[in-house]
Amino acid sequence: MGSPEDQAFGLLSEYANGFMVSQVLFAACDLGVFDLLAQAPEPLGAAAVAARLGTSGHGTELLLDACASLRLLAVETQAGQAAYANTALSAAYLVSASPTSQLDMLRYLGRTTYLCWAHLAEAVRQGRNQYGQAFGVPSGDLFAAVYRSEGERLRFMRALQDVWRVHGRRLMATFDLSTFPVICDLGGEYLPVARASRCQAPPRRPALSVPGCSGALARECLSLYPGCQVTVFDLPEVVLAAKTHFSPPEGGPIGFLAGDFFKDPLPEADLYILARVLHDWTDQACSQLLARVHQACRAGGGVLVVESLLDSDGRGPLPTQLYSLNMLVQTEGRERTPAQYHALLAAAGFRDIQDGGTRGLYDAILARK
């Protein structure tokens, strides 16, 4: 175990080298290591991997061995040579064909979030996001910076799709939402400065609108509440991207509605879903949005808030604390404690506020009008 001093220095080294671990993961994903090994009929040596990826033999061997030490790859010896294969972890989360793949989220983290985090100290000094420093784009209009190009918009949408692949079904089942005949999501992907057009015709029957315009969470909702029609509510350009690049669920009644939740009249519903929305915004903006939701909500209806929740004292869990810092470098908001969300909801007029209590990476809070 070593002396206390050795243990302390080891911990410090682990923290200091954490960015290297992230980059090993990001590089292996970008290069296609895990997809290649998933398609191979048997474990491959470093030379074979390098030849198929078009990478250097030396660099590939170093990367594969680092992945093996991180338990992202399994290694065995064949005729005196190392051969590599995916572990259960990488097969589940790092192979694009897996139904729980997180590749798009990891690509977004590596190509966007990581670059913003290089300016964390400046974000702490200034108290604002770092799109200007990282990408040279103005960040006064938050989602104009987030959606600064068509490619970046798609990357962001695909990253959110990965979140709902893993967490969506559990979160939508936290409470029995079948008691709300008409459910409307006010999705997290909005630009609160441009007035969006509205659909010309209302849905013909009770509609369920869910967050994430790629349709991943919509599929989970449909599997739990098959009697509902699903409508995804988002910006016009995001809706267009969803229709162009993402396939709707087979046989599922999914529709799209364009709008801006800060300016447009909100569609009347029994329940509104705000999934990974409130953490993007300041308390003032959250209060404004929740007040609009309460005004539009039908009597007896409510709102479902899905977020990563801090402990009551705000000093944990560590993943949520890191997410809160990420809100600093990438948005205008922060992660919050259950009590802080309760206060925002109560101030907007909601009552009977219930915690889901699952305390997973994400949790749900249900409040009624």
Q: For 91-134, what is each residue's pLDDT tens digit? A: 999 999 999 999 999 999 999 999 999 999 999 999 999 999 99
- Where helices occur in 44-148 by DSSP H, the ranges are 46-53, 57-69, 88-93, 103-108, 114-117, 120-126, 131-135, 142-146
Token digits of residue 135: 């990408």
Strands 81-86 vs 73-78: parallel, antiparallel or unpaired: antiparallel
Report the sign of the C-alpha dihedral through residues 198, 294, 232, 278, in that order: positive
Name the token pair of 169: 């079904």
DSSP structure class, residue 336: B
pLDDT at 211 over 90: no
State yes or no: pLDDT of 215 exceeds 70. no
Per-chain mean pLDDT for the chain: 85
CA contacts within 13 A on the Cβ side of 143: 20
The pLDDT assigned to 202 comes to 32
- Tell me phi and psi for residue 256, to 5 degrees: -130, 145
What pLDDT score does 130 carry?
94
When mean pLDDT is compared over 34-43, 71-80, 259-268, the highest value belongs to 34-43
Instruction: Quickly list DSSP for 141-203.
Output: SHHHHHTSSHHHHHHHHHHHHHHHHHHHHHHHTSS-GGG-SSEEE--S---TTSPPP--SS--
Known catalytic residues are 279
H or E, element range at 130: none
Contact 247, 214 (CB under 8 A): no
Please give the average per-residue pLDDT across 287-291, as a whole number: 97
- Please write down the long-range contacts of 39-42, taking CB distance under 8 Å and 24 or more positions apart: 40/85, 42/83, 42/85
Q: For residue 253, what pLDDT band results from cuts at 50, 70 and 90?
A: low
- Pairing state between β 297-307 and 363-368: antiparallel
How many helices and strands, by DSSP H and E, does the chain display? Answer: 17, 11
β-pair type (297-307, 351-355)? unpaired
The b/e string for 6-17 (b: 16+ C-beta within 10 A; e otherwise) is: eeeeeeeeeeee
State the Cα–Cα distance between residues 342 and 247, nearest whole angstrom. 36
Residue type, 82: A
Q: How far apart are alpha carbons 10 and 307 in whole angstroms?
A: 33
Query: 339 and 312 in contact (C-beta within 8 Å)?
Result: yes
Residue 90 has pLDDT above 70, yes or no: yes
Instruction: Give the SS3 label for residue 269.
Output: strand
Q: Residue 185: what residue type? A: D
d(CA 16, CA 67): 18
* SS3 label, residue 353: strand
Whether pLDDT at 46 is above 60? yes
Per-residue pLDDT band for 146 (boundaries 50, 70, 90) equals: confident
CA distance 328 to 282: 11
Q: Which residue has the higher pLDDT, 207 or 297?
A: 297
The region of weakest confidence among 104-113, 146-155, 269-278, 351-360 is 146-155
Sketch out the chain's domains with CATH numbers: 4-96 (1.10.10.10), 126-368 (3.40.50.150)
Query: Would you state the pLDDT for residue 151?
Result: 78
State residue 255's pLDDT score: 63
pLDDT at 247: 56
Q: How confident is the model at residue 207 (pLDDT cuts 50, 70, 90)?
A: very low
Is residue 194's pLDDT more than 80?
Answer: no
Residue 251 has pLDDT above 80, yes or no: no
Q: What's the average model confidence in pLDDT over 17-38?
A: 98
Q: CA–CA separation, 65 vs 117, rounded Å?
A: 27
One-letter identity of residue 273: I
Q: Could you give the CA distance from residue 304 to residue 132 in angstroms, rounded to a whole number?
A: 33
Query: Is residue 234 predicted with pLDDT exceeding 90?
Result: no
Residue 251 is encoded by which pair of tokens? 């046989």
pLDDT of residue 176: 92
Structure-model confidence comparison of residues 24 and 141, the more confident one: 24
Question: Does the pLDDT of residue 212 top 70, yes or no?
Answer: no
pLDDT mean over 62-90: 96
Give ∠ CA 287-334-168 in degrees, rounded to 5.
Answer: 90
pLDDT band (50, 70, 90) for residue 266: confident
For the residues 235-256, what does the mean pLDDT come to?
59
C-alpha separations of 231 from 98, 116, 180, 219, 254 in Å: 26, 33, 15, 11, 5
Asked if 147 and 153 touch (Cβ cutoff 8 Å), the reply is yes
Q: With 90 as the cut, is the pLDDT of residue 238 above it? A: no
pLDDT at 4: 93
- What integer is the mean pLDDT of 321-337? 96
Contact in structure between 330 and 129 (CB atoms under 8 Å)? yes
Pairing assessment for the beta strands 229-234 and 254-258 based on DSSP bridges:
parallel
**Residue 199, pLDDT above cutoff 50:** no
